[in-house]
Chain A
Amino acid sequence: MREDRDIMLKRIRTALHGPPGAPAQVAPSIARAYQVSTPTPAAVLLHQFVERVAEYKAEVQTIAENALPTAIAAALAARKALRLAVPADLPNDWLPPAVTALRDQGQLTYQDLDGCDGVLTGCALGIAQTGTIILDHGPRQGRRALSLLPDYHLCVVWQSQIVGIVPEAIAQLATATTRPLTFISGPSATSDIELNRVEGVHGPRTLHVLVVTA
Chain B
Amino acid sequence: MKPQSVLIELQPKFERNAPAALANTQLRRNMGKATQTIRAKRAAVVDEMPDWEQLRTAGRQIKEHTLYHLDTYLLQLEAAVQRAGGHVHWAADAAAANAIVTGLVQAHGAREVIKVKSLTTDEIKLNAALAEAGISAIETDLAELIIQLAGEHSSHILVPAIHKNRAEIRELFMRTLGIAEISDEPTALAAAARSYLRAKFLSVPVAISGGNFAVAATGAICVVESEGNGRMCLTLPEVLISVVGIEKLVPTWQDLEVFLQLLPRSSTGERMNPYTSIWTGVTPGDGPQAFHLVLLDNGRTNVLADEIGRQTLHCIRCSACLNICPVYERTGGHAYGSVYPGPIGAILTPQLVGVEHARSLPYASSLCGACYDVCPVQINIPEVLIHMRGEVVRQHQDTGGLAAALEPEALAMQLLSQVFGSQATYEMAQRLAQLGQGPLVRDGTISWLPGLLGGWTAMRDLSAVPQQTFRQWWRERDA
Which A residues lie at the B interface, using CB under 8 A?
A: 1-2, 4-5, 7-9, 11-16, 25, 27-36, 52, 56, 106, 110-111, 114, 127, 129-132, 137, 143-145, 148, 166-167, 169-171, 173-174, 177-196, 198, 200-204
Contacts and interface: CB of A to CB of B under 8 A. Distances in A.
B193 interface: yes
B30 A201 contact: no
Contact of A130 (B198, B218, B271): B271
Contact of B190 (A8, A130, A169, A193): A193
Contacts of A137: 286
A188 B285 contact: no
Given A8-B295, A185-B271, 8 more contacts: A12-B301, A28-B65, A144-B231, A185-B272, A190-B190, A200-B190, A201-B190, A202-B231
Contact of A194 (B1, B33, B140): B33
B189 A193 contact: yes
Most chain A CB inside 10 Å of its own CB: which residue of B62, B186, B256, B272: B272
Contacts of B84: 178
Nearest to B63: A28
Contacts of A28: 61, 64-65, 68
Interface string B82-101: 00100001111000100010
Nearest to B159: A192
Given A8-B90, A8-B92, A178-B218, A25 B68 contact: yes
Nearest to B283: A180
Interface string B348-362: 000000000000000
Contacts of A177: 215, 218, 220, 253, 280
9 contacts: A30-B61, A33-B54, A56-B274, A178-B283, A185-B275, A188-B227, A191-B268, A194-B30, A201-B193
B423 interface: no
A35 B51 contact: yes
Interface in B402-424: none
A170 B215 CA distance: 13
A198 B185 CA distance: 10
Contacts of A193: 142, 161, 166, 169, 186, 189-190
Q: Interface majority SS on A: helix, strand, loop or mixed?
A: loop
Interface in B193-207: 193-194, 197-198, 201-202
Contacts of A170: 253-254, 256-257, 260
B74 interface: yes
B8 interface: no
A178 B86 CA distance: 12
B321 to A, nearest CB: 18
Contacts of B166: 193-194
Nearest to A8: B297
Lowest 3 CB-CB distances: which A-B pairs, in order? A203-B228, A202-B228, A188-B228
Contact of A106 (B268, B281, B285): B285
Given A170-B254, A189-B274, A34 B100 contact: no
Contacts of A148: 228, 231-232, 235-236
A28 B71 CA distance: 15
Contact of A190 (B50, B57, B142, B234): B142
Contact of A166 (B57, B257, B280, B287): B257
Interface in B1-50: 1, 30, 33-34, 37-38, 50
A5 B91 CA distance: 7
Most chain A CB inside 10 Å of its own CB: which residue of B34, B58, B90: B90
Interface string B132-162: 0000000011110010000000000001111
A16 B148 CA distance: 39
Given A9-B71, A28-B65, A143-B286, A15 B304 contact: yes
B276 A167 contact: no
B273 interface: yes
A1 B286 CA distance: 28
Contacts of A131: 271-272
Nearest to A28: B64
B277 interface: yes
A111 B202 contact: yes
Interface in B286-316: 286-287, 295, 297, 301-302, 304-305
A9 B51 CA distance: 36
A184 B37 CA distance: 24
B79 to A, nearest CB: 13
Interface string B212-252: 00010011100000111101101110000000001000000
Given A143-B286, A177-B220, A201-B227, A185 B273 contact: yes
A52 B45 CA distance: 12
Nearest to A132: B272
B164 to A, nearest CB: 8
A80 B62 CA distance: 49
B100 A1 contact: yes
A114 B202 contact: yes
B159 A202 contact: no
Contacts of B61: 28-31
Given A8-B297, A31-B61, A195-B159, A174 B186 contact: no
A189 B226 contact: yes
Nearest to B273: A185
B258 interface: yes
A11 B278 contact: no
Contact of A182 (B159, B215, B276, B295): B276
A141 to B, nearest CB: 11
Contacts of B260: 166, 170, 183
B232 A16 contact: no
A28 B215 CA distance: 18
B383 interface: no
Contact of B231 (A8, A173, A203): A203
Contacts of A27: 65, 68-69
Nearest to B307: A25
